Amino acid sequence: MRIDLVLSTNRTYRAAVARGRPFASYAPTTLAQLAALVPAELGASVHAYDLTMQPDPPPGADVLAISSITCGAPHAYRLAAQARARGTTVVIGGAHATALPDEAARHADAVVVGHGERSWPRLLRDLAAGRLRERYVDFDDPFTGPPVEPDRSQLAGRGYLASSTMEASRGCSNACGFCTVACLTAGQLHRRPTEDVLHEAAGLRGRVVFLDSNFADDLEAVRPLLLGLRALRKRFYAGVTLRLAEDQAALKLAADCGLAGALIGFESVNESATRGAGKGFNQPDRYVEAVRRLHDHGIRVLGCFAFGLDGDDASVFERTVELADRARIDIVRYAIATPLPGTRLLADLEAQGRITDRDWERYDTEHVVFRPAGMTEQQLHEGYRWAYRQTYRAGSIWRRLAGRNLTPVTLAGNLGFRRIAYTADQGLGGVTP
Ligand code: B12
Ligand code: SF4
């Protein structure tokens, strides 16, 4: 049996692949995890294709298993139609199928909703036994079975900026209105056993990137892991919230244990916008001080902001750029607020009749798909692109980074975003809102 595992993506990423210059980023573990879960007794040959980095797979698989986030759903459905026309069994899972399983079911022989750790091997055994079901749903703790180590050989040589990616937990203890994580994990946060995480981390080369949505909100729960990472002398990057910067003891411990870089969702410089999105623990008047504290502990900051939440008006772009400069955020990522399926944001905007675009391709945080409250759609799109160009001017990069040791990641991140910001048709949603 030949099983092709595929990560679908949207037009912007496919165009970059076609140009031979994909957006090098951190490696997802999705395909590597699914490859490792294929039961050995099936004797299957398994091939993974991350289409954010490489072209579509050749035809001929017996099973095509597609993982899709929302902006990759149209691509997933096209691949599915082509494969089914050739008699291939198609399975779809991932964020979009979990939020909208009925839609995915129209394009696949089976849909996997939620975690794949138990469902995926069960599905393959069912298929081999000729009793494939149409839907497999599992939101229980995915980390209770025997430890699964992602088969990273499947992703080798793809040119990722960071390949040593892994999970220590899945889910989040918060449920911010614009975020899909609560939907993907049925509102639960699951942690892997510390010894499994340390075992996997020990085998990874260089700095580890934890893909967790919220690595360190509960310090007591994560303390044994931090101490273990310190014993391994592992430096690592992780997604955290600003709560970490507010807690001096936690910050010091995380830094001592190797936290080298933090991905943080600042979201907005408008307090009403962060509060409205259910992320009221982000207080914009404390952002500069928070970044200073992280820097004082030697932690680099990748700061994420979303434009267009209710509460934002057209002044938000200039104010955000100014804050990113003043706080000296190492790498800045801007997004257009996007009402992804499964979020409260989508439910609210739909109820208010403000959704203007239902092309999932454009639900990539680079396009405006709803009517913003405090500006026009055009202003939101242009302001987003303007903010990127401002933040990645040479002068701004210099102001944010001067006087600090430059790491390869900081440099590559800034140069990568600068390339995207100044190449109008190659990212940032092309030229149309
Ligand atoms: C790595 C990553 C990426 C990679 C790859 C993206 C991709 N196309 O999949 C990169 C860096 C390119 C990326 C970019 C973006 N990403 Co991203 N990314 C992640 C991240 C951090 C980790 C994914 C991962 O490896 N998880 C670990 C694996 C093991 O878990 P998993 O993917 O959920 O898979 C499990 C189950 O879902 C299930 N499963 C999944 N697929 C399938 C398929 C089958 C057949 C089966 C059986 C089971 C199954 O089984 C797996 C094991 O249990 C997640 C957040 C997160 N922590 O998950 C966001 C996330 C996937 N990204 C997200 C977003 C929004 C984006 C961007 C649009 C925006 C942005 N600026 O980041 C871009 C768009 C990229 C594009 N055009 O494709 C959202 C997706 C939400 C949605 N509904 O669309 C997430 C969930 C973050 C979030 N909090 O909202 N991202
Ligand atoms: S935005 Fe961050 S803190 Fe909020 S629910 Fe999502 S992962 Fe958790």
103 and 34: one domain? yes
pLDDT at 138: 98
Atom 75 of ligand 1: nearest residue by CA position? 9
| Close Cβ partners of 146 (under 8 Å, ≥ 6 residues apart) | none
**Residue to mutate (ligand 2; options 279, 282, 304; most atoms within 8 A of CB):** 279
Residue that terminates a domain, selected from 138, 155, 187: 138
Using a 6 Å cutoff on CB, does residue 108 contact ligand 1?
A: no
Q: Which atom of ligand 2 is nearest to the CA of 279?
A: 4
170 and 264: one domain? yes
Using a 6 Å cutoff on CB, does residue 26 contact ligand 1?
A: yes
246 and 376: one domain? yes
pLDDT by residue for the chain (433 residues), tens only, comes to 999 999 999 999 999 999 998 888 889 999 999 999 999 999 999 999 999 999 999 999 999 999 999 999 999 999 999 999 999 999 999 999 999 999 999 999 999 999 999 999 999 999 999 999 999 999 999 999 999 999 999 988 888 989 999 999 999 999 999 999 999 999 999 999 999 999 999 999 999 999 999 998 888 899 999 999 999 999 999 999 999 999 999 999 999 999 999 999 999 999 999 998 889 889 999 999 999 999 999 999 999 999 999 999 999 999 999 999 999 999 999 999 999 999 999 999 999 999 999 999 999 999 999 999 999 999 999 999 999 999 999 999 999 999 888 888 899 899 989 988 987 666 666 544 3
For residue 68, being part of any structural domain is answered with yes
Q: Are 244 and 262 in contact (CB under 8 A)?
A: yes
For residue 158, being part of any structural domain is answered with no
pLDDT at 433: 39
Residue that terminates a domain, selected from 138, 155, 190: 138
Total of domains in the chain: 2
Sign of CA dihedral 82, 83, 84, 87: positive
90 and 171: one domain? no
Strand bridging mode 236-240 / 169-170: unpaired
Can you give the residue range of the structural domain that contains 303?
A: 164-426
268 and 351: one domain? yes
The DSSP code for 87 is T
Where on the phi/psi map is residue 268: left (φ > 0), alpha (ψ -120 to 50), or beta? beta
**Nearest-angstrom CA–CA distance, 355 and 392:** 31
234 and 286: one domain? yes
Q: Which atom of ligand 2 is nearest to the CA of 172?
A: 8
As given in the structure block, the two tokens for residue 54 are 């490489």
For residue 53, being part of any structural domain is answered with yes
196 and 63: one domain? no
Render 173-231 in DSSP notation, one character per residue.
S---TT-SHHHHTTT--EE--HHHHHHHHHTS-SSEEE--SSSSSSHHHHHHHHHHHHH
Using a 6 Å cutoff on CB, does residue 34 contact ligand 1?
A: yes
Give residue 95 CA to ligand 1 midpoint distance, Å: 7
| Close Cβ partners of 116 (under 8 Å, ≥ 6 residues apart) | 33, 34, 37, 93, 138, 142
Render 32-71 in DSSP notation, one character per residue.
HHHHHTS-GGG--EEEEEETTTSPPPPS--SEEEEE--GG
For residue 373, being part of any structural domain is answered with yes
Give residue 301 CA to ligand 2 midpoint distance, Å: 17
123 and 180: one domain? no
Give residue 402 CA to ligand 1 midpoint distance, Å: 33
As given in the structure block, the two tokens for residue 203 are 């085998």
Using a 6 Å cutoff on CB, does residue 48 contact ligand 1?
A: no
11 and 106: one domain? yes
Render 419-432 in DSSP notation, one character per residue.
HHHH-GGGSTTTT-
Render 339-398 in DSSP notation, one character per residue.
--TTSHHHHHHHHTT-B----GGGTTTTS--B--SSS-HHHHHHHHHHHHHHHTSHHHHH
Give residue 165 CA to ligand 1 midpoint distance, Å: 13
271 and 412: one domain? yes
395 and 253: one domain? yes
Q: If residue 77 lies in a helix (H) or strand (E), which one and from where to where?
A: helix 73-85
For residue 156, being part of any structural domain is answered with no
134 and 169: one domain? no
Give residue 335 CA to ligand 2 midpoint distance, Å: 15
For residue 255, being part of any structural domain is answered with yes
Q: Domain containing 348 — which CATH number? A: 3.20.20.70
**Nearest-angstrom CA–CA distance, 234 and 201:** 8
Residue 211: C-alpha distances to residues 28, 76, 170, 197, 371 (Å) = 8, 23, 9, 12, 31
Q: Are 92 and 104 in contact (CB under 8 A)?
A: yes
For residue 421, being part of any structural domain is answered with yes
Residue 359: C-alpha distances to residues 8, 70, 149, 356, 370 (Å) = 15, 10, 36, 10, 12
- Bridge-partner residues for 47, per DSSP? 4
Q: Domain containing 127 — which CATH number? A: 3.40.50.280
For residue 433, being part of any structural domain is answered with no
**Nearest-angstrom CA–CA distance, 428 and 267:** 18
Using a 6 Å cutoff on CB, does residue 422 contact ligand 1?
A: no
**Nearest-angstrom CA–CA distance, 57 and 153:** 17
The DSSP code for 294 is H
Atom 3 of ligand 2: nearest residue by CA position? 174
